[in-house]
Amino acid sequence: MAVEIIGRGRVNVTKTHLDAAFLTKIGLLAKPYEYIFCKAIERIQNGKTIPKFMLAAVMGKDNNSIIEMLYPNITASTIKNACQFIYRYSIPEKIKNYKGTVLFWRGSNEYYPKKSAALLKKYLPALIDVEIENMGHGQYLHEFSDEYASKLIEYLQS
């Protein structure tokens, strides 16, 4: 969402923080991923487990934060809409005009955010890409929230 907002060029901010933004089009995999993601959320909501290899492929190795942080009443329709938007998203060309700094945090166990950071760097060469060791999607925020908050405050106040 932040990429879209700064890409429109109508907001004047000097600093932007992105946490594992997913900006990579996945083409023909979009429909199967959407289906699998909806089914996985349904399994979590029904108290069933998700095979570890599948969870690791999407969220990062040994990352259970998605299960613990999941909003229990989220609907399949909401998940489907989010997936349709994310998996087909195009970075706005006008983002090249953004003059602020962009801090991009991602876990070392996240495949797509790594690709997204590299893609976004083509538009914003000064992007600060920070890889957080042994973390998956949402894991740093979930497991080290105090450290996360203090580092984010430090960035915003610098």
Q: What is the pLDDT of residues 57-71, one digit of tens each?
A: 777 777 777 777 777
Look up the pTM and report it.
0.84
Q: What is the pLDDT of residues 32-87, one digit of tens each?
A: 988 988 888 888 888 888 888 877 777 777 777 777 777 778 888 998 898 888 88
Same domain assignment for residues 12 and 50: no
Same domain assignment for residues 13 and 46: no
* CATH assignment at residue 16: 3.40.50.1820
Do residues 125 and 102 touch, judged by C-beta distance below 8 A?
no
Residue 150: is it exposed, middle or buried by C-beta count within 10 angstroms (0-12/13-18/19+)? exposed
